Amino acid sequence: MKRKDLTQGSVPLTLYQLTLPMVVGVLSMVAFNLVDTYFIGKLGKNELAALSFTFPVIMVIFSLVQGIGIGATALISQSFGRNDLAKAARETTDSLFLALMLVLIFVITGLFTIDLVFSALGATEEILPLVREYMEIWYFTIVFVIVPFVGNSAIRATGDTQTPSYIMLFAVLINAALDPLLIFGWGPIPSLGLQGAALATAISRGFTMVVSLYILRYRERLITFNIPSREVLFGCWRAILYIGLPTGISRMVAPVAVGGVTALMATYGADTVAAFGVGSRIEILGMSVFFALSAAIAPFIGQNLGQKKWDRIQQAINYSSIFSLLWGVLAAVVLWLLAEPIAALFTDNAQVAAQVAFYLSIIPISFGFQGIYLIGNAGLNTMGKPWPAFVISMAQMFIFYLPLAYLGSYWNEVSGAFLGIAVSYVPGAVVVFWILRRFIRRGVA
């Protein structure tokens, strides 16, 4: 077992050691999406717009999966903090079983609602068949997405953030090799377009599922074949869902809100939808360090919470927040300077490229606050406070993000909408940081 004790040693050094491998992992997953975006962009703006329409729906599903993963991480890391390895194995196994049940629900529901959902998002009759091409295959790949994600969450709970990152990097390399082969065809392999991109995703994710399960079973010994009693199984599921369900729903709020903004962009035409989709993916690249840090801080807080080391938890939040603001400034400057050449990499359409560049010159001003918001929510969830995190997420999206985007659009069309999105993250960051500090002080007291 490759377990790391996170309750000892320097707090900033430990966070650095946890986060650095996670940055590689997050960048790998960002690269996964950007590779798809790059090659699909070569097919044309309609195909690129179709991919943009799929983004919020895929993120809704992935957000619920993240919730289950966060719930599992919180429980398993606390079990490791108490050195209860048998309980950690039981929680890992039961969380994977819960993930498989979700797969069945997603596949059945998704396949029967493609036209209904994407029409509501604003997909036209010209673009809807392209969306259908992609999603009819993608829905069947969900099992290859959910199982390794939950499995990697269990591995991170042990304090090992390197292995999950390597697994994600492995998926990106396979996807990058298969994308041009299946999208454009080569030799006897026909050109499959958007279906090829979905197939490449399925194959690459399938490999990661096999690797993740192998590590959990044979290296970490976190998969048990002992059949639990109904009380034990349901008790574990309740504990996971207590954190995972509100966390998943709160994370679903973001892509739902993005779907609302996508519908707003659709009123300005396919060029704007395509630009918003590309810009959002590039934005995630700039935010990758924050995603990594928020993922890394969960096992840190979990293990220290298991031993009631509140002082280390407080230090971790303080260091992480300061770092977020500094990194946000750096990322904003870099993207602002390179906005036009970056946009040109993803599309040959001059109008789309111009709007992508404009997006990248405005949105990054909020990066530091988005980082604090993500870290604060991760802290609340791991501490077993999912409902305050849920309320903050709802307020962030439906009181700030969506209204400010629409108000900005009313004020100055697309430019105003982008500015409204950027400003919306400031109040959310302030609120979540304040509430998190209050809970930590109560624990210390």
Query: Which residues make beta-bridge pairs with 186?
Result: 189
Q: Which amino acid is at 423?
A: V
Quick check: 73 pLDDT over 80?
A: yes
Pick from 388, 164, 425, 423: nearest CA to 292: 164
Flag the least confident range among 81-85, 130-134, 425-429.
81-85
In order of 141, 213, 245, the CA distances from 228 in angstroms are 29, 20, 22
pTM: 0.74
Q: Is residue 251 part of a domain?
A: yes
Residue 217 and residue 223 in contact, taking contact as beta carbons nearer than 8 Å: yes
Q: Is residue 320 part of a domain?
A: yes
Q: Is residue 6 part of a domain?
A: no
What are the φ and ψ backbone dihedral angles of 189, each rounded to 5 degrees?
-85, 120
In this prediction, residue 85 has a pLDDT band, given cuts at 50, 70 and 90, of confident
Identify the burial level of 138 via C-beta atoms within 10 angstroms of its C-beta, where 0-12 means exposed, 13-18 middle and 19 or more buried.
Answer: buried
Q: Is 279 helix (H, G, I), strand (E, B) or coil?
A: helix
Q: Is residue 286 part of a domain?
A: yes
Query: Which residues make beta-bridge pairs with 20?
Result: none
Quick check: 169 pLDDT over 60?
A: yes
Number of domains the chain is built from: 1
Q: Which helix (H) or strand (E) holds 95?
A: helix 85-111
- 326-356 pLDDT, tens digit each: 988 888 888 888 878 878 777 777 777 887 8
- 98-111 pLDDT, tens digit each: 888 887 888 888 88
Residue 297 and residue 375 in contact, taking contact as beta carbons nearer than 8 Å: yes
Q: Is residue 1 part of a domain?
A: no
pLDDT at 2: 59
Quick check: 1 pLDDT over 70?
A: no
Q: Is residue 5 part of a domain?
A: no
d(CA 8, CA 80): 14
Quick check: 444 pLDDT over 70?
A: no
Read off the pLDDT of each residue in 75-92 and give the average, rounded to a whole number. 82
Q: Is residue 151 part of a domain?
A: yes
Quick check: 211 pLDDT over 60?
A: yes
In this prediction, residue 415 has a pLDDT band, given cuts at 50, 70 and 90, of confident
The chain-wide mean pLDDT, for the chain, equals: 83
d(CA 176, CA 178): 6
Greater confidence (227 vs 400) lies with 400
Read off the pLDDT of each residue in 110-117 and give the average, rounded to a whole number. 85
386: which residues sit within 8 A by CB, 6+ positions away? Answer: 242, 243, 244, 245, 246, 247, 250, 380
Q: Is residue 4 part of a domain?
A: no
Using only C-alpha atoms, what is the Rg of the chain? Answer: 21
Quick check: 445 pLDDT over 50?
A: no
d(CA 379, CA 298): 6
- 6-23 pLDDT, tens digit each: 888 888 888 888 888 888
- 219-267 pLDDT, tens digit each: 888 888 888 888 888 888 888 888 888 888 877 777 678 778 888 888 8
- Quick one: tokens of 323? 């770092």
- 271-315 pLDDT, tens digit each: 787 778 778 777 877 788 888 888 888 888 888 887 888 888 889
Q: Which domain holds residue 429?
A: 11-444
Read off the pLDDT of each residue in 416-421 and give the average, rounded to a whole number. 84
